[in-house]
Chain A
Amino acid sequence: MTNYSILLLGTIVVPLVAALVMQVGGSLSKATTRFFATVGFSFPALASLILWINFQPADPSGYDYLIKLPTGLEGLGIYLHLGLNGISAPLLFLSGIVGLAAGLYALQSGAERLQQYLMLLLYMQAGLMGVFASVDIFFFYFFHELALIPTFICIGIWGGRDRHSAAMEMSIYLTLGAMLSLLGLLAICFQSGVSTFNMIALKDAIAAAPIEGASQNVIFGMLLFGFGILVSLFPFHSWAPKGYAAAPTSIAMLHAGVLKKFGLYGFVQVALPLVPLGAVHWSNLLAWLALGSVVIIGFITIAQRDLKVMIGFSSVMHMGYCFLGVACVSILGAAGAILTMMAHGLTVALLFLLGHVVYRRTETFEMDDMGGLVRQAPVLAAIFSGAVLASIGLPGPGLLNFFGEFTVFTALWDFNEAFAFAAVLGMVISAVYGLRAVACIFFGPHSEAFEKHLEENAVKDITVAEKIPIFILFVSLVVIGLWPRSITDEMNRALEAEFKTIDAELATLKNQPDESGIEFALSEKTQRR
């Protein structure tokens, strides 16, 4: 335990304390509220940046900054055990930076009962940091739920159209997903034979004695559907666009940008290394569903006329790439999934934010009622176009997205060429809806409705206050995009260690395909790898 470990603990504790102050402090003055919120949001961002830069795992497990505290569940082998490895360090930074941007935007949102709003956002932020900082599977799940509760309440109070039904649908759907994943995680701990929730100990135990093949299939099945629901895998996605459309902007940014990554992170960090045979068994179905996410949802996205709903669908679609990466059960696929997660987390947060900045000027999300905004807001138009290019994955602002998707396609080629062909179609689809949105909103003549709106209101270009969170997200996106080694070096090391045991386990499967009864899932391609 070093000072850095305490810093890691601080990324969770500081926003939590800031939230508690707001909750029990009665009605605080505006300046005090702003102060606590700013501290609560900037500390995790800065700390996660420092932790990422300083990341040098000396521990043989590949983890750094380990810290272990008892909370009373020691009897079950559960500790508040924090630490970072090459996979979680960049994702912790992602959640810190998106949290900062969302928090800064919430501060200027002018929401009613701002103190309560910021309080709930801070709780969510604490949970988000905890998800990626946890080494203990129980707390990994626990922090996810901690972040989920504020989402429902915020949608219900500060949401837009249809917020009641959207919040209810989301809560029921996501509880189902969370419960299934909880069962899957519990099952892993029991089947491993060591009765611990510690990810490092579990990985060691499973490297020594893998879980039996049939159990692996059941466990991965539960995780597939559980995490699949949480990450809005097609066809369990229906809550996502509805929920995001109804959610206030900062919540949509945090949920789509970070919280949704919980399931994918769980696949890469927990499911693949611990139940690899199960992953291979289900990989075909997972790949088909993921392809559905990319292609079917892609076409649905094209049909959307509401900007916020469109961004919501596009986020469902991009998750499809990550799932395709996971379905490959290869080091390249997993790496692609994580790169895409980083890229998408930053981009979708940026798009939701910009979507609301546009809404402030047009007072509608209907793209048909906009048009020609570039004349009033040229800078906004430039930034928005940049964000859309980033989301499509075009070189330049979209380098990070490009690297992620490119890695996924490469991995997919090894898995099955046909899937790779079909998935590339997705890039064209994103270009269609993305560029068309830019055209509809900013170019062409003013639509009638917008003309009328302009007569009554003075529409100004983007303000400095709005630029700050946008700048934070954009710079992270471009810098990491230009220098992806900042992620990939350490991630590669972590994944290589992980896949050493996975490949060893898969090799045993190849030697005795008859007994396990799951050989049909191993296509020739997988075996060649």
Chain B
Amino acid sequence: MNWEFYKILAESNQWNAILPEIALVILALSLLLLDMFGGKSGRELVDRVAVAGQIFLIILGFTLLRNNLGFLNQETFAGMLFHSELGQFMRIFFLLSSLLTTYMGSVFLKKNQIPETEFYVILLLITAGLMLLAQSNHFVMLFVALETVTIGFYVLVSYNRDKSNSLEAGLKYLIMGGFSTAILLMGIVLLFGVASNPGLPGSSLHAMKFSDLHIFLQLNEGNLVAKTGVLLVLAGIAFKIGSVPFQIWIPDVYQGAPTPVTAALAVSSKAGGFAVLIALVSGPFKPMANLVIPVLSLMAIITILFGNIAALAQRNVKRLIGLSGVSHAGYLLIGVVAIYSVPTAESAVIFYLITYLPASYAVFGVMAHLSAAGNDDLLELGDFKDMLKDSPFLAGVLVIGLGSLAGIPPLAGFIGKLLIFYAAFQAELYTLLGVAIVGVVISIYYYFGWIKEATFRFWKLPVLEGEEPELPKEWPEINSLTRVTLGMLALLTLVLGLYQGPLSSLIGG
């Protein structure tokens, strides 16, 4: 390490390549300023500015930044980042998810009278972290980005600080998160130590770079330390995606966290984990197939079965959707395993995530509207009774969202599952396919159980003389913004199930 080295390093800092992330941070800071100096009217504008800024960035991402200002498929920052097409895609994915969380947050926070600005600021920073995470090409970058995300979530999970459940969830997430961070870091350190050992073939000065590590692992497939390192890194990521045996935090944290945060955890955090996993599996860990395939396969099997079976008995909808999310991580893991023999399986995983986003936000959006102020952690299946009759719009959105999560044609979730199954067939993962089928059948019980509560007719006891008739339940007012947002999500879910034309470049045999 000499002066020359730092010079090269400084010259490779192409800040243009991460303009969207920089813009997000500037947006976050300007929200803080607006809150501080804008007075009361400024404070009321905060959510609108946040939403407008993100919409602007998404449009920019779809148009101008498609090839990331010419940095597509290039390394920047001395190999810290690599701007793959997957990374570009995930950027937009995280922005969309963040936008929807912002919208849900504005509904939820106003209802519960919780200060808003900090929520958006932290959310935007998390999003910036996730976007960098999906493009990281170096274990240090990966770790820093991942920690930015995780620390942001520590705060957001306990954001509803008047509620003991939210605080408890925050504490649990902090402890479990710290634990998993330690595991991940240990794995990274082991890999670094062994890969920069000059005595071993293929060792490198920049052993943390994905490409160098790939070369090293190729030459040292059987090295015990390297194997341990790979396993520990996988364990750290398994925590993010919520797969067994690192799913233990999910039900409590999902239940306690404010609903918009739960949604972000379920979608963004999980997708972030999978983006990293795809990058690792198709990059540095590719030579370790003999180790990674059995480990991930076993995880997928147990995750699918555990998630679905544990969700069967849940009545609290946030716990239920958390555990069902565990099973989704399992289906996605099948796609990840398939990547080893069929590289196109990557697009199946991405497509699954695409279908998962609108379906999940549709369901969470309905939940955010339905939960009474201060009681969002206590929403039960029974609270959805008579929904179709009294609030047909919300019920329709809920049914479409749940149907898509259950993987029922003609909704997008079915196409997602079909592509995963297709990839698994190509990769000849018949056992995993069998388990996935069993999982889907089990999941019908709770998804349809939920749909049943919301749509079916229930007998009511007739009101006897002298008894007060039960007060009719109050259903939330739906303003036009809600109608548009939730309607778009439902429509997207339906359209993606019937017509996949716009994404057909993703789907290929």
Contact yes or no, B445 A71, CB < 8 A: no
Contact yes or no, A176 B507, CB < 8 A: no
B409 in contact (CB, < 8 A): yes
Contact residues of B between 220 and 269, Cβ < 8 Å to A: none
| Also in contact, A179 and B452, with CB within 8 A (given A70-B501, A77-B509, A156-B457) | no
Contact residues of B between 439 and 485, Cβ < 8 Å to A: 440-441, 444-445, 448-449, 451-452, 455-457
| Also in contact, A167 and B452, with CB within 8 A (given A172-B445, A179-B440, A180-B437) | yes
Give Cα A158 to B414, complex, Å: 27
| Also in contact, A72 and B503, with CB within 8 A (given A176-B441, A179-B440, A190-B425) | yes
| Also in contact, A71 and B452, with CB within 8 A (given A146-B410, A171-B444, A175-B444) | no
Give Cα A215 to B509, complex, Å: 21
Return the chain A residue nearest B505 by Cβ. A75
- A172 surroundings in chain B (CB, below 8 A): 441, 444-445, 448
Contact residues of B between 384 and 406, Cβ < 8 Å to A: 388-389, 396, 403
Within 8 Å by CB of B507, from A73, A157, A186, lies A73
- A156 surroundings in chain B (CB, below 8 A): 452, 455-457
B182 in contact (CB, < 8 A): no
Nearest CB of A to B447, in Å? 9
Encode contact with B along A64-106: 1 for CB under 8 Å, 0 otherwise. 0000001111111100000000000000000000000000000
| Also in contact, A72 and B504, with CB within 8 A (given A145-B410, A168-B445) | yes
Contact yes or no, B408 A195, CB < 8 A: no
11 A-B pairs with CB atoms under 8 Å apart are A72-B500, A72-B503, A73-B500, A75-B504, A149-B408, A153-B451, A156-B456, A157-B388, A158-B457, A167-B452, A179-B437
A163 in contact (CB, < 8 A): yes
Nearest CB of B to A69, in Å? 10
Within 8 Å by CB of B501, from A72, A76, A163, lies A72
Return the chain B residue nearest A187 by Cβ. B425
Give Cα A75 to B508, complex, Å: 4
A425 in contact (CB, < 8 A): no
- A153 surroundings in chain B (CB, below 8 A): 451, 455
B502 in contact (CB, < 8 A): yes
- A152 surroundings in chain B (CB, below 8 A): 448
| Also in contact, A168 and B408, with CB within 8 A (given A73-B504, A175-B444) | no
A142 in contact (CB, < 8 A): yes
Within 8 Å by CB of B456, from A145, A167, A175, lies A167
- A149 surroundings in chain B (CB, below 8 A): 403, 408
Within 8 Å by CB of A179, from B441, B455, B456, B502, lies B441
B55 in contact (CB, < 8 A): no
Contact residues of A between 453 and 496, Cβ < 8 Å to B: none
Encode contact with B along A142-173: 1 for CB under 8 Å, 0 otherwise. 10011001001100111000011001100110
B372 in contact (CB, < 8 A): no
Return the chain A residue nearest B449 by Cβ. A168
Give Cα A187 to B434, complex, Å: 13
- B503 surroundings in chain A (CB, below 8 A): 72
Using a CB–CB cutoff of 8 Å, the interface residues on chain A facing chain B are 23, 70-77, 113, 138, 141-142, 145-146, 149, 152-153, 156-158, 163-164, 167-168, 171-172, 175-176, 179-180, 182-183, 186-187, 190, 195
Give Cα A220 to B441, complex, Å: 21
Give Cα A405 to B230, complex, Å: 64
Contact residues of B between 195 and 231, Cβ < 8 Å to A: none
- B457 surroundings in chain A (CB, below 8 A): 156-158
Nearest CB of A to B498, in Å? 7
Contact yes or no, B409 A183, CB < 8 A: no
Contact yes or no, A164 B452, CB < 8 A: yes
Nearest CB of A to B71, in Å? 28
Give Cα A40 to B449, complex, Å: 31
B421 in contact (CB, < 8 A): yes
Give Cα A179 to B509, complex, Å: 21
Contact yes or no, B456 A157, CB < 8 A: yes
Contact yes or no, A168 B410, CB < 8 A: no
Nearest CB of A to B351, in Å? 11
Encode contact with A along B427-438: 1 for CB under 8 Å, 0 otherwise. 000000100010
Return the chain A residue nearest B434 by Cβ. A183
- A182 surroundings in chain B (CB, below 8 A): 418, 421
B62 in contact (CB, < 8 A): no
Nearest CB of B to A9, in Å? 14
Encode contact with A along B132-153: 1 for CB under 8 Å, 0 otherwise. 0000000000000000000000
Give Cα A152 to B444, complex, Å: 12
Contact yes or no, A71 B410, CB < 8 A: no
B316 in contact (CB, < 8 A): no
Give Cα A145 to B422, complex, Å: 18
- A70 surroundings in chain B (CB, below 8 A): 501
B426 in contact (CB, < 8 A): yes
Give Cα A447 to B229, complex, Å: 81
Contact yes or no, A186 B425, CB < 8 A: yes
Return the chain B residue nearest A153 by Cβ. B455
B499 in contact (CB, < 8 A): yes
Return the chain B residue nearest A112 by Cβ. B457
Give Cα A163 to B421, complex, Å: 33
Give Cα A419 to B396, complex, Å: 50
- A141 surroundings in chain B (CB, below 8 A): 409
- B500 surroundings in chain A (CB, below 8 A): 71-73
- B441 surroundings in chain A (CB, below 8 A): 172, 175-176, 179
Return the chain B residue nearest A146 by Cβ. B410
Contact yes or no, A168 B448, CB < 8 A: yes
Contact yes or no, A183 B445, CB < 8 A: no
Interface centre among A75, A142, A187 (most CB of B within 10 A): A75
Give Cα A138 to B507, complex, Å: 15
| Also in contact, A190 and B504, with CB within 8 A (given A75-B509, A175-B444, A179-B441) | no
Interface centre among A23, A73, A146, A187 (most CB of B within 10 A): A73
Known pairs A142-B409, A179-B437; list 7 more (Cβ under 8 Å). A71-B498, A75-B508, A76-B508, A113-B389, A164-B456, A172-B444, A179-B440
- A190 surroundings in chain B (CB, below 8 A): 425-426
